[in-house]
Amino acid sequence: MTDHLKFSPDILRRLGEELVPDIDQGIVELVKNGYDADATTCKITLADPMSGNGSIAIIDDGIGMTGNQIRKGWLVIGRSDKAKGALTSKFKRVPVGDKGLGRLAALRLGNRVILTTRPASEPGKQYSTSLDWLEYEKADVVEDVALAIAETETDLPHGTEIRIEGIEARITRTTVNKLARSLLLLSDPFARFDDQLSNGRLKSTKRSRIIDPGFSANLLTMEFKDLQAKVGKSYFSDAEYRIQAELHANGNATFRIMDWKGEIVHEAMAGDTFHAPPFTFDLWVFVLSKDSFSTRSSTLSEVRDWLAELGGVHVYEDGIRVPPYGGEENDFLGLNLRRVRSPEVRPSTNTSVGRIKINNTDGSLIQKTDRIGYVENYAFGELKRACGEALDWAARILLKERERKREADKQSKKEKAAKATSDLERVLSKNFKPTERKKVDKAIQSYVKATEKEADSLREDLELYRSLATAGMISAVFAHEIGKPLGLIDNAIKGLIRLVPDEDQRKANARVGRIQTSRTRLSSFVSIPLRLLSKHKRRTGRIDVNRCIGSMVEMLEPISANYDTLITFKPSETGLFVNGTEALLDGIIINLILNSFNAFLRDNFEQDKRRIKIETWSDTTNILIRIEDNAGGIDGVSVEDIWLPGVTTVADGTGFGLTIVRDSIKDLNGTIRVDPITDFGGARFTISLRPMRELFGR
Amino acid sequence: MLGTVEFPDIEPPRFVTIVDDDPEDREDLMDQLRDHNIEPRAVDGRYGSDIDRLIADVRATGSPFVICDHRLQIKNLASFNGSSVIKALGLSKHPAMLLTMYQSTNRLELREARADVPVVVSRHDFDVSQLGTYAEICRREFANDPVDARRAHRTLIGIKGINRTYNHTELYVTIPNWRPDDAIILPVACIASDLVPQLEVGDYLLGDVNVGAKEEDDLFFKNVNEIMKANEVTGS
């Protein structure tokens, strides 16, 4: 007697829904089967998807399957007809479906699947079969359920229809949106713009398109139409520039920067070779500022919306998208990280859209079993490295360009000023008699003198800001470096204590205790600039006001203890959020606190119990932050003047603290009020900020 | 500090009183003194603006020498600074020295007070074995026989620049008898108040300056009460 390995129906669940948990991803796999069948269109309809008894139909116009193909291919889970390297029969496409597991997941969405297919090779014939999953639930092993393939006559053209019925799981709006996005991006939506984007080098792609009319998947829902309308527009010409990397079959790469018309402005061969399949990486980078859109036909919000839908770098292997690259929060090339490291002239996922077109005929890139991305193998690592090198190369070029532009601007301003002066001279000589001219010259001279004074003062401010920036950078470097000597101190202390004879240990411990206390103080002081300069603090976004102030107060604890000052913070009962950067809010709070510390240290000012009170609350319209101290109030300077740069009552002070406070509050769209002296015994600053919900209408 | 002034044969005082708002720094100084068999005595507490009470407490310790920290406000020991304490002790010829971190914020304050503070030492350079020298410098000053580096000479002070900020004026000056090429900041508080409104770049002032000082931080200015206008100097 011969035995066979048999499979319990449970294995279907393991291989299906557990392996490919996302409904949209399963459906996309069925659509990919249509692509592999040389279809040009695939329609997906959802009937009552949210009812708990819905159905899905996937209908393509591909070459269909014969009865034998159903028997040997479609019904065999895990086997794919698509031998690697073999192209499809009609359009010579590289097959994108695989293993059939994603397909199984989709088929198991409902209780029943009906397959109807009309092979192009047998005109007039139609084959159909159905899978009733409830029957499998009852069976002991998968093989116990018998299947029949019916053959009928038909007038309909070739193609395949898969209908999944009795879908119990409710397909939510989010899933539909996700599905719509996945289908829309499945077949390269950028391709339709290739004509206008092409600059000659991508012609080969264009030629192959003459044979293959392309493939489109349409989800027949409103969500899809909306999305299609958005994605269907082209804003590529609004891009500031485009970065391109082209990896050739021999491993050499060419990097390019192109202008909005697609004309090459910079081009270079990469200094290294890359062991990845040939690909072309394009990244369109946008400058999303009002100024840059003031002279364009499209609006900033249109482009922003478009980027929100399309943004990110999408990967297309032989014309079909490989998720999750370019999907929500997917930043596999580390664009955002690179931007954080060097914010100037670097794109982020919010300000760019990109595509990598890969020709993976050698199969060195391997898609994961769950069809979500590539296996992180050497070839994929090389692909990412090549793209990263291209981005770094472009950043270096753009940085140089920007510096050159700045210098040119300066020069052009000088030339303009010289021309204006000579024009003025000419007009004056022509229009004034020599006697009147003297008076005019005098008036002009006094005007020029006043203007120069103003310019001098601005220059001085700039110098000071530069010095402060340098000091900030140096203190950050110093803070980084100080870790080593601090560690050395710890070790030296331990070593010394061991050398001290037992009878002197008590005395030695007192001194060691002091060293350790000083070491802790030093360590906490030097960590402050590092924390303040932390890059995430300069990212714009939703700022939790209470958390930000709370952590600032905690961070300043060693300093407040040093100044014998008690800082109390009373946060609002409910959360308060503003849109901005933590660095701005930090700057406001720390400058006001330092202002209080300085006030306490004024000569001849007495305050036995130094206090700083911080409180936050919301008055339903605004977020309010109050900072007050008992340091004697504002003295020696008029209240109106405290915001002016350079105004200080501290010897050798910069006088920039409150100017920074004022400017930062302005940046956060807020206001600040000052009471020079209150019952508490000092100055009170009340900051009013607009809450985030007001800014964004939610 | 005062260049290479040293009196190696002078014995250090046997008792020294320390005035320092920071307990850790105070204890550290006391340990350093103990290591050299000098008995430290400390004054601490809260004095607010009552300098007389602090001076009385210092005297009560009976030490012949006082080491005083400059910034007494940070930990709220007093609302005045250490140079005021040294000045007050100097009125009764009580030898005392000032310890400072010499941070930029103190430098100009100290220059204003430097004429009345014979010894200022950075915390970093403080050396207990030099206490005898520090005390001798004070003694010589009180005996009207200051060390060369503290001896004042009537000298010209050239005004090279005037920086008038919101509520503060600083002069950039050179002292030809000291270092003719080094411009330093002279606080207007060191100048007779009636001269201040007349000051212009190019003018020269006359005052008593210890031109034997080795370091800029040791310079002091007294009796800066005469002015020579730029046009008088050039004779135009």
Cβ within 8 Å of residue A367, ≥6 positions away: A98, A317, A322, A373, A374, A375
Residue B174 in tokens = 């050179």
Per-residue pLDDT tens over the stretch A462-478: 777 777 777 777 777 77
Whether this model's ipTM surpasses 0.95 comes out as no
pLDDT at A633: 93
Chain A residues in contact with B104 (beta carbon < 8 A)? 652
Judged by a CB distance cut-off of 8 A, whether residue B124 touches chain A is: no
How many Cβ pairs within 8 Å bridge chains A and B? 65
Residue A203 clears pLDDT 50, i.e. is over it: no
Nearest Cα residue in chain B from A643: B166
User: B49 and A604 in contact by Cβ < 8 A?
Assistant: yes
CATH architecture type of domain B15-148: 3-Layer(aba) Sandwich (3.40)
Structure tokens at A632: 């004697």
Beta-carbon contacts of residue B188 (< 8 Å; ≥ 6 apart): B169, B170, B171, B196
B residues 13-52 near A, CB within 8 Å?
A: 24, 27-28, 31, 46, 48-49
Of A170-179, A180-189, A595-604, A611-620, where does the model show the most confidence?
A: A611-620
DSSP string, A363-397: --S-B-TTSSSB---HHHHHHHHHHHHHHHHHHHH
- Closest chain B C-alpha to A565 CA, distance in angstroms: 9
Give the bridge partners for A114, in sequence order. A130, A163
Give me the pLDDT at residue B224, please: 95
Tens of pLDDT, residues A488-510? 888 888 888 888 888 888 888 88
pLDDT at residue A369 is higher than 90: no
pLDDT (tens digit per residue) in B130-172:
999 999 999 999 999 999 999 999 999 999 998 876 667 789 9
Angle CA A468–A342–A355, to nearest 5: 160
Is residue A38 classed as helix, strand or coil in its secondary structure?
coil
All residues at 6 or more sequence positions from A310 whose CB lies less than 8 Å from its CB, including other chains: A185, A189, A231, A353
Contact residues, chain A to chain B, C-beta under 8 Å: 510-511, 514, 517-518, 562-564, 600-608, 610, 636-637, 641, 644, 646-653, 655
What does R_g of chain B's alpha carbons equal in angstroms? 19
pTM (whole model) above 0.95: no
CA separation for the pair A395, A265 (Å, rounded)? 14
What percent of chain A shows pLDDT beyond 70?
88
Q: Is the pLDDT reported for residue A444 higher than 50?
A: yes
pLDDT value for A649 = 67
**Confidence band of A620 (pLDDT split at 50, 70, 90):** confident
**At A85, is the pLDDT very low, low, confident or very high (cuts 50, 70, 90)?**
low
Which residues in chain B are closer than 8 Å to A610, comparing Cβ atoms? Answer: 76
* Chain A residues within an 8 Å CB radius of B79: 602-606
User: Do A600 and B73 lie within an 8 Å CB cutoff?
Assistant: yes
Asked if A96 and A36 count as a contact pair (C-beta separation under 8 A), the reply is yes
Tell me how far apart the alpha carbons of residues A136 and A446 are, in angstroms, rounded to a whole number: 97
Q: Report domain extents, chain B.
A: 15-148, 152-234
* Residue B226 bridge partners (DSSP): B206
> Is B76 touching A (CB cutoff 8 A)?
yes
Contact B166 A564 (CB under 8 A): no
**What tokens does B51 get?**
């300098």
**Maximum C-alpha span of chain A:** 129
Q: Is A215:A39 a contact under the CB 8 Å cutoff?
A: yes
* Helix (H), strand (E) at residue A325: none
Give the 3-state secondary structure percentages of chain A, helix then strand then coil, rounded to 5. 45, 20, 35
pLDDT of residue A433 exceeding 90, the answer is no
Distance CA(B171)–CA(B101), nearest Å, equals 24
Q: Would you say A331 and A312 are in contact if contact means Cβ atoms under 8 Å apart?
A: yes
Q: Tell if the CB–CB gap between B76 and A610 is shorter than 8 Å.
A: yes
Which of A603, A605, A656 has the most B C-beta neighbours within 10 Å, making it the best mutation to test the interface with B? A603
Q: pLDDT tens, B74-113?
A: 999 999 999 999 999 999 999 999 998 866 557 788 898 9
Of A602, A644, A652, the CB nearest to B104: A652
Q: B76: which chain A residues are within 8 Å (Cβ-Cβ)?
A: 564, 600, 607-608, 610
pLDDT band at A515 (very low <50, low <70, confident <90, very high): confident
pLDDT in tens, A682-692: 999 999 999 98
Distance from CA of A276 to the nearest CA of B (A): 59
pLDDT at A237 over 80: no
Query: Using CA atoms, how far apart are residues B100 and B125, in angstroms rounded to an integer?
Result: 10
Which residues, other chains included, contact A624 with Cβ-Cβ below 8 Å and sequence gap of 6+? A616, A617, A618, A686, A687, A688, A689
Sequence-separated (6 or more) residues with CB below 8 Å from residue B161:
B171, B172, B183, B201
Which of B80, B81, B166 has its CB closest to that of A647? B166
Q: What is the pLDDT of residue A390?
A: 93
Q: Which domains does chain A have, with CATH numbers?
A: 1-232 (3.30.565.10), 234-414 (3.30.230), 415-520 (no CATH), 538-696 (3.30.565.10)
Residues in chain A: 698
Minimum-distance CB partner of A511 among B31, B105, B107:
B31
CB B80 within 8 A of CB B88: no
Amino acid at A81: D
What residue of A is the nearest CA neighbor of B29? A511
Smallest CA–CA separation between B93 and chain A, in Å?
Answer: 24
- Could you report the per-residue pLDDT of A337-351, keeping only the tens digit for each? 777 666 666 888 888
**Between A290 and A273, where is the model more confident?**
A273
With CB atoms and an 8 Å threshold, state whether A637 touches B28.
Answer: no
Mention every residue, 6+ apart, whose C-beta is less than 8 A from residue B140: B146, B147, B150
